[in-house]
Amino acid sequence: MAADNAADHSAGRAARELARLSEERVDHRFKGLPPDAEGLTVGELAAQRRNLFTDGFTTPVLALSAERLEHNLALMETYSERHGLAFAPHGKTSMAPQLFARQMERGAWGITLAVPHQVRVARAFGVERIFLANELVDASALRWIAGELDADPSFRFICYVDSVPGVALMDAALREANATRPVDVVVELGAGDGARTGVRTEAECVEIANAVAAADTLRLVGVAGYEGEVPEATPERVRAWLERLTALAVDFDKANRFADLDEVVVSAGGSAWFDAVADVFAQIPELSVPVLKLLRSGAYVSHDDGHYRHLTPFNRVPDEGALHPAFRLWAQVVSRPTPEQAFTNAGKRDAAYDIDLPEAQVVHRGGVDRPATGVTVTGLSDQHGWVRTTPEADLAVGDWVGMGLSHPCTSFDKWQLIPLVEGDGTVTDYIRTYF
Amino acid sequence: MAADNAADHSAGRAARELARLSEERVDHRFKGLPPDAEGLTVGELAAQRRNLFTDGFTTPVLALSAERLEHNLALMETYSERHGLAFAPHGKTSMAPQLFARQMERGAWGITLAVPHQVRVARAFGVERIFLANELVDASALRWIAGELDADPSFRFICYVDSVPGVALMDAALREANATRPVDVVVELGAGDGARTGVRTEAECVEIANAVAAADTLRLVGVAGYEGEVPEATPERVRAWLERLTALAVDFDKANRFADLDEVVVSAGGSAWFDAVADVFAQIPELSVPVLKLLRSGAYVSHDDGHYRHLTPFNRVPDEGALHPAFRLWAQVVSRPTPEQAFTNAGKRDAAYDIDLPEAQVVHRGGVDRPATGVTVTGLSDQHGWVRTTPEADLAVGDWVGMGLSHPCTSFDKWQLIPLVEGDGTVTDYIRTYF
């Protein structure tokens, strides 16, 4: 009953905090929004159903396609269900509680996050199951986690461990915090030599599991890792590593490490190899307790016009669908100093630039979109986009250039309130992010 | 009298809005801050004078040195005064109204900005003189600017023009907005072939000045540009371009283009060549009206441990002082999978990475800082720092690594509330940014 009440309380908090987002004032904090909307609430502005091109929005402005977002949310729900996977989409991509809520409505088990600050955001919006795909040895953060677990029996929290010293630091911090519930941990298996975090050998995994077993403050609930860091990844190498991961789960199960659990967690899966994850996880033999096969892809929400366009597994399994790039960054041409050069007002503050530059796709002038033929973004300053034009380009000062972006994680994080835009330009909502 | 009242009103607004920052609640919106400070106001938390290392802050956390900030603010005030320059520090660097206010207290003429959204932030905090170092042809933004000028006679706003079509767009938008005061513009002289925005030839500058003269909604008040974009810059090339800029001002003056003004604006100066700007601007001959020689450097506020450490003019004029790097990013080692590798919890969301990677400087363990010997940051994922260690490195899971950053503009923009930290670790205030 206590757990039920806490869960109800948490669901109530989620609904209340999401509703409160629509009561936030539109003001100078949020770039791109119409200056003449100053003082309206987000909800009031959304109710006006303004047009992105004609109703006072200023450039640069990032637009998230309502239809494409919906498509992507639905596709990954279907994909996960079809493959018998639980889904904890990586929330670090968007850090948008409204999107977390839509992911949960579409059947997500919970939300994956990367650092404790992100857990605080999710908890503030009532997320009940959080998978922290990272090590956590910060005493202050662990004290806060212990408090959350204590206050809300229905809060499920899982994080990585990959070292005996890390286990000792966790245990010390949780003891110091007088933690009343153990923190659930999974041993992270590293994706190979030179890869990111994670234990390098199965022998070390055993040592760490032993250390966890010896700590009252921790509970071993499974194994996990990130195949996206497999060195020189090929489908074969990724599968080989995933098979190591699932074999580790089997070995731990045989060693009776999961005897007291209701379920074992086996987790992997970024946005580049979830087909391999689905295949290998489907082969996990029956263990002594049910297995929660947890996929963690995050970039699918907005998808992109670059990095993940090339890497998405749907390129290999087109029969299962296709994600649609949902972001378009609109910038205005402010300068056209030569026939070969143009400059927009969107720079590093506005567009992802860590993997690829923005891709000029359309030019908007006088209410009409046309292809951005001969228009190429060649660089970004802090607040300018450098554009090269060929003789066939028709690009003038004042034109809006619509650009595709590469890498959702470094696109979302440059915008705190993102217009959700329908195909005809109507803005129906605003997505708040917390970075 | 109306102008005086408006100025008083604006100063009152500035003080009120700055005070309101200390009333903001510390919560999940602001990463790095102590979870147990949830619900306190910023002012209450500051009054607790917590220690960055021992009082509950979580990693990653960006610290701004109180003493170094103060030193840098004072140094550029002195520098500007010594060289007879007015100073409009570029606010796009920090987008922190508290720092704008301190810059103004230290004699700044006003604040430089890059895009209209930034102007809205500055206006919300009562900044009375704004130099927009960019072209502005967005009708919605111009309508808002016209409203601000109309409502506050003491608001001074200047922006660039670099094309006849741009002038036409401005004029049309301001007419449509029924602007009551003309918008002050300066002709931007481009820094050379292939450089960023700005007119390429003096002949075109004349055409544009003529277009401005023909538009009732605009007033030509001077010339400007950005020597930081001089191609293959050397001191000689930068000076040659600055001499073109000042000669353009002289030519315009001879052509009686400034006859109706109280002062002419001549502006240049980023953070790499302000010594050349000072030298060349000192040679401007007497014009028919006084000249406001406006320097716009912005990166000096925090300075850095990379890009501007190499580029600062103080390397050439050491007798005039030295800026001090004021940022230190603290991250925690969460994983140490091999003797050669370590991983921190600070990634692309936390550190500038557009020019250089963070520089590991110190390791903090058990209350003691020591040099980060043998510790090198080799890459950043979204939420991880990749660290390589040599055999001489003493680095363990749980250690905090203090890092210097390169490029202030892409450091500030990853943090919304930045602890201002004294040398002993006491946090005395929190700097709010708006990106």
Q: Is the distance from CB of B403 to CB of B45 less than 8 angstroms?
A: no
pLDDT per position as a tens digit, A383-435: 999 999 999 999 999 999 999 999 999 999 999 999 999 999 999 999 999 99
CA-based angle A54:A60:A64, to the nearest 5?
Answer: 75
Q: Which of B354, B364, B423, B433 is nearest to B93 (CA)?
A: B433
pLDDT per position as a tens digit, A255-271: 999 999 999 999 999 99
Contact partners, residue A194, CB within 8 Å, separation at least 6: A231, B341
CA-based angle B10:B11:B17, to the nearest 5?
Answer: 85
Domains of chain A are 1-65+305-435 (2.40.37.20), 128-297 (3.20.20.10)
Q: Does A213 touch chain B (CB under 8 A)?
A: no
Q: Which of A149, A147, A114, A107 is nearest to A128 (CA)?
A: A149
Contact partners, residue A29, CB within 8 Å, separation at least 6: A416, A417, B121, B434
Cβ within 8 Å of B, A 312-341: 332, 334-338, 341
pLDDT per position as a tens digit, A269-299: 999 999 999 999 999 999 999 999 999 999 9
**Cα dihedral sign for B376, B379, B380, B386?**
negative
Q: Does A163 touch chain B (CB under 8 A)?
A: yes
The answer, yes or no, to whether residue B3 has pLDDT greater than 70, is no
HSE, CB side, 13 Å, CA atoms: give it for residue B356: 17
How many whole angstroms from its chain centre is CA A402?
24
Per-residue model confidence (pLDDT) at position B1: 44
Q: Given an 8 Å threshold on Cβ–Cβ distance, is B197 in contact with A334? A: yes
Q: Does A13 touch chain B (CB under 8 A)?
A: no
pLDDT band per the 50, 70, 90 thresholds, residue A14: confident
Instruction: Specify the DSSP element, H or E, that contains A364.
Output: strand A359-365
Q: Are strands A385-389 and A368-371 parallel, antiparallel or unpaired?
A: unpaired
Q: Does A67 touch chain B (CB under 8 A)?
A: no
Q: Which residue of A has its CA nearest to B205?
A: A337
pLDDT per position as a tens digit, A208-230: 999 999 999 999 999 999 999 99
Give the span between the Cα atoms of B243 and B245, in whole angstroms.
5
Give backbone dihedrals phi and psi of B35, rounded to 5 degrees, phi first: -55, -30
pLDDT per position as a tens digit, A74-107: 999 999 999 999 999 999 999 999 999 999 999 9
Nearest to A165 among B32, B196, B396 (CB): B396
Copy the structure tokens of residue B86: 């007015």
Scored b (16 or more CB within 10 A) or e, B367-380 reads eeeeebeebebeeb
10 Å CB burial of residue A6 (0-12, 13-18, 19+) is middle
Q: How many CB atoms lie within 10 A of CB A285?
A: 10
Cβ within 8 Å of B, A 75-94: 92
Q: Which of A88, A170, A77, A78 is nearest to A122 (CA)?
A: A88
Q: Does A115 touch chain B (CB under 8 A)?
A: yes
Q: Does B348 touch chain A (CB under 8 A)?
A: yes
Give the span between the Cα atoms of B152 and B139, in whole angstroms.
20
How far the first Cα of chain B sits from its last, in Å, is 35
- A202-213 and A235-254 helices cross at what angle (nearest 10)? 40
pLDDT per position as a tens digit, B135-154: 999 999 999 999 999 999 99
- The yes/no answer to whether this complex scores an ipTM above 0.90 is yes
pLDDT band per the 50, 70, 90 thresholds, residue B15: confident
User: Mean pLDDT for chain A?
Assistant: 96
Q: Which of B126, B164, B159 is nearest to B145 (CA)?
A: B159
The answer, yes or no, to whether residue A33 has pLDDT greater than 60, is yes
Cβ within 8 Å of A, B 141-160: 141, 143-144
Distance from CA of B91 to the nearest CA of A (A): 12
User: Mean pLDDT for chain B?
Assistant: 96
Long-range contacts of A112-119 (CB under 8 A, 24+ apart): A112/A88, A112/A296, A112/A298, A114/A90, A114/B382, A114/B383, A115/B31, A115/B60, A115/B345, A115/B383, A116/A141, A116/A144, A116/A145, A116/B35, A116/B58, A117/B28, A117/B31, A117/B32, A117/B58, A118/A91, A118/A92, A119/A145, A119/A157
Per-residue model confidence (pLDDT) at position B12: 80
Per-residue model confidence (pLDDT) at position A15: 87
Written as one letter, the residue type at B59 is T
Written as one letter, the residue type at A39 is G
Cβ within 8 Å of A, B 374-433: 381-384, 386, 396-398, 409-410, 413-414, 416
Per-residue model confidence (pLDDT) at position B14: 82
Q: Which residue of A has its CA nearest to B164?
A: A397
Q: Which SS3 state, helix, strand or coil, does residue A138 take? A: coil
Q: Does B59 touch chain A (CB under 8 A)?
A: yes
The CA-atom distances, in angstroms, between B365 and each of A206, A325, A351, A367, B205 are 28, 45, 37, 60, 60
- Averaged pLDDT for residues A237-258: 98
Give backbone dihedrals phi and psi of A115, rounded to 5 degrees, phi first: -140, 160
Q: Which of B118, B63, B60 is nearest to B89 (CA)?
A: B118
Scored b (16 or more CB within 10 A) or e, A337-350 reads beeebbbbbbbbbb
Per-residue model confidence (pLDDT) at position A11: 74
pLDDT band per the 50, 70, 90 thresholds, residue A1: very low
Q: Given an 8 Å threshold on Cβ–Cβ distance, is A334 in contact with B166? A: yes
Per-residue model confidence (pLDDT) at position B6: 62
How many whole angstroms from its chain centre is CA A96?
9
The CA-atom distances, in angstroms, between A39 and each of A21, A24, A237 are 14, 9, 55
- Averaged pLDDT for residues A37-55: 97
Q: Is the distance from CB of A250 to CB of A283 less than 8 angstroms?
A: no
